[in-house]
Chain A
Amino acid sequence: MSGFGTLAKVLALSFIRDKTAVFFTILFPLMFLVLFGVLFTDHGTSKAHVVQVGEVTVLDQLPQTAKTDLKGSLSVTKESGPLQPQLRKVRDGDYDAVVSEKDNQLAVYYSEADQVRSATVRGVLESVVQSANIAASGNVPRYGLNTHRVEDKSIQPIQYQTPGLLGWAISMSAVFGASLTLVEWRRRKVLRRLQLAPVSLAAVITARVGVSIAIALVQGVIFVGIALLPAFGLQLTGDWWLAIPLIICATLAFFAIGLLAGSFAKSAEGASGISNLIVLPMAFLSGAFFPLDSAPAWLRSLSEVFPLKHLVDSMRNVFVRSADLATILPDAALLLAFAAVAGAIAVKLFRWDDV
């Protein structure tokens, strides 16, 4: 196809020279990776802080092994003196609860401001009291409890975050790349000029598609490469390479969205506006930033129309659950079908010039 190579080279050159585009394509998503890493990997904050006022027998006489276990979920600060000043600290949010004891009765004062923490504190202290009761009765506990996590021990939030953020980054650069090229080339009369050269429309479009796919793959390599650093701790297991065909299928779908946006917009500002209007809601509704599990059912069904949802879901299947080819095939097929339909409409709407 004559013109494909020439135009692809032009597009690649003008992308590399466009500092804004490079920033939004590569650096901006990486900033989010760092931000999310800071937000979600600090486990220390999930511990509850409790003030013990005076003597509390069940806590003071806890066996050493139980004490170590307890430290995982509660940190206990001992205070003497009146109760009131300590209660104020709970009310102010400095501590999660106050514990004191009178005549073998444990009193727990908590605040409902943080319901999860207060429930943790009550649950933990209740089990402490129960074990103490059993021990006092002299009986040997008949039932025991052992907990096991089903996933591999290595699974960290980064395994979920990488597919989400990478998917969002790819959708952004593919949609914006297609719509801005189309609008700018039309506005600068470059399309008119190409219409006069022996170049087919197919060559123009495939050159842009080719460059978009190349950019998406470069994004993937850089993003995953950085996530693999010990600071982030991403692990590649199983058929991780399945992410590559998924990224290609999804880029085609995003590209078609960009072409549609570019067919309607008249200016670069208009194209950016329409692209943003599509990409941002799509990113939130596809669970790229945080999971949609608690969203209403209708919203979750709505999210199925977005190609990003299928890219993020299938890449998570690959990165978190070591999915194989058969598992991701339906998502890949959906992405391709989306690209075909949206792309066909976009080609129908294609104009070489504004009028």
Chain B
Amino acid sequence: MTKVTMTVNGRAVSGEVEGRTLLSAFLREGLGLTGTHVGCDTSQCGACVVHVDGKAVKSCTVFASDVAGASVTTIEGMANPDGTLGRVQQAFQDHHGLQCGFCTPGMVMSTAALLAENPKPTEADVRHYLEGNICRCTGYHNIVKAVLAASGQDVSGVAAE
């Protein structure tokens, strides 16, 4: 076991990890941040996406030791400081961008990364960027609508299919 230290949602944290401890396990089991979901554990579904130094990564496919010292943001860090839903989260609620909610933490984290890179994405940009996030419930249309709404674009003409 070795000690790792990193910043998670603005807070300095540390814990004992094995070499093989995945970032997803360190967050969920080590820090109790169970908002990061593990859907497939095989790098396919994107439910576990978090930001490492501002970039979206699949936390089930990164070792905690390899990101020691980094700044990590999880879904728990996406709410406003007063505890109300953040802009992306609120858009998902307003536009029914979720049903069971299992994929949602990863969808929100990928969306936030997209909007940081591309503040006014087109529908095609959104669909391309979210290719690595799989949702078994919604059929994606309302997720795309929520992302466009979160970017401040008018979605009244986008059909809910």
The answer to whether A and B belong to the same complex is no
